[in-house]
Amino acid sequence: MENLLRPIYQERASHKDTLGILVIEKTQPLSPLTDNFDVVLLVITKNNETYWFVKHYEFEGKKAALHIVSEEKLQDWLMSGSNRRIISWIVNGKVIFDRNEYVANLKETIRYFPEEERKKKIGIEYAKLIRRFTDGRVLYNSKQFLDAYNFILHALHHMARLSVIEHGFHPEITVWSQVKHIEPEIFKLYNELLNSEEPLEKRLELLLIANDFSLSSKSKLGGAHLRQVMTKKETWSYQELLEEPELKDYGVDLGALLEHLIDKGLINIEIKETKGEGIFSRLYKV
């Protein structure tokens, strides 16, 4: 199969902006990892004009997908976890072109997961956990149990990913297989939510208590990256936090994380007078 694809990847390898090319082949009849394509060609480029370009091919009754991804987009996926296949593609893909050992170094970085990168990913997952948990609690309190179930299930996924990252690993598609060995208590919560014979309302109540404890116990860990960034200066407006490049991957979940850390006494509020009588703007500081 690789021989049939050679004209495609050789053309890409000749581009000066191409950093690396990997081949990922389908290993099972149904393969979500490759979107059921027989083979995926991943081309990583330092050209950021096109973040992500995809083209599909067909040959001898087989299907192939070409993904051209900018280095910037790749780093965004690795940090945000928004494309969970990318870890498996890089770790397990066969390297067929590697300029200046870019892919080899990338594999090594994923393998060793540097502390600063890990701290940031923990913060992002923790912020998502707070958002899903809060939404789930509100829906539970209003007796919208099926909708609450959906949000609590998502919160558990973020709790699982947080645990995997905390132990020094990148979360993979099979995150529950990882968690089962790393932190069985979280796997047990997940199993009870799905399979317990208790009424749904009771299952959700137990999960909310467990989630509440987890959020409280991990406040310092989850807020460490945000608080570290905030030491750059004395006070911040919320707009300044939104525009800080180091915090852009938090997205809409930044506000939820900020309010949680204020409630836990880990971030302080400073009020500043405005032109409106009795109206103050809020500034934030560590």
Here the CATH number for the domain that contains residue 211 is 1.20.120.330
Verify that 130 and 223 share a domain, yes or no: yes
Task: Indicate if 147 and 83 belong to the same structural domain.
Answer: no
- Model confidence pLDDT, tens digit, residues 158-190: 999 999 999 888 887 678 888 988 889 899 989
Identify whether residues 98 and 126 lie together within a single domain.
no
Are 42 and 126 contained in the same domain? no
Q: Does 234 share its domain with 223?
A: yes
Residues 107 and 136 both lie in one domain: no
The stretches in the chain having pLDDT less than 50 are: none
* Same domain assignment for residues 45 and 33: yes
Do 79 and 54 touch, CB atoms closer than 8 A?
A: no
* CB-based contact 25:39 (threshold 8 Å): yes
Predicted confidence at residue 250, as pLDDT, reads 92
- 18 located within any domain: yes
**pLDDT score at 4:** 65
The answer to whether the CB of 40 falls within 8 A of the CB of 21 is: no
Give the angle subtended at the CA of 154 by the CAs of 34 and 239, to the nearest 5°.
100
CB 226 within 8 A of CB 233: no
pLDDT of residue 49: 75
Whether residues 229 and 240 share a domain: the answer is: yes
Q: Has residue 286 been placed in a domain?
A: no
Going through 71-144 in order, the beta strands assigned E by DSSP cover 94-98
Going through the chain in order, the beta strands assigned E by DSSP cover: 18-25, 39-45, 52-59, 62-70, 94-98, 268-273, 280-285
- Residue where one domain finishes, among candidates 54, 78, 112: 112
Q: Which candidate, 88, 103, 213, places its Cα nearest to that of 159?
A: 213
- Radius of gyration over alpha carbons of the chain, in Å? 22
Is residue 278 assigned to a domain? Answer: no
Same domain membership, residue 268 and residue 191? yes
- CA distance linking residue 263 with residue 144, whole number of Å: 26
Question: 282 in a domain, yes or no?
Answer: no
In the listed set 89, 112, 135, which residue is the last one of a domain according to the structure? 112
Residue 140: the pLDDT is: 95
CATH number of the domain encompassing residue 100: 3.30.460.10
Total number of domains constituting the chain: 2
Per-residue confidence (pLDDT) for residue 101, from 0 to 100: 94
User: 155 is in which domain, residue-wise?
Assistant: 115-272
- Claim to verify: residue 96 and residue 175 sit in the same structural domain: no
pLDDT of residue 246: 92
Q: 228 and 137, same structural domain?
A: yes
Q: Which of 112, 141, 167 is the last residue of a domain?
A: 112
Specify the 3-state DSSP secondary structure of 236.
strand
Q: Are 159 and 268 in the same domain?
A: yes
95-136 confidence digits (pLDDT tens): 999 999 999 999 988 888 888 889 999 999 999 999 999 999
Helices 115-141 and 254-263 pack at an angle, to 10 degrees, of 80
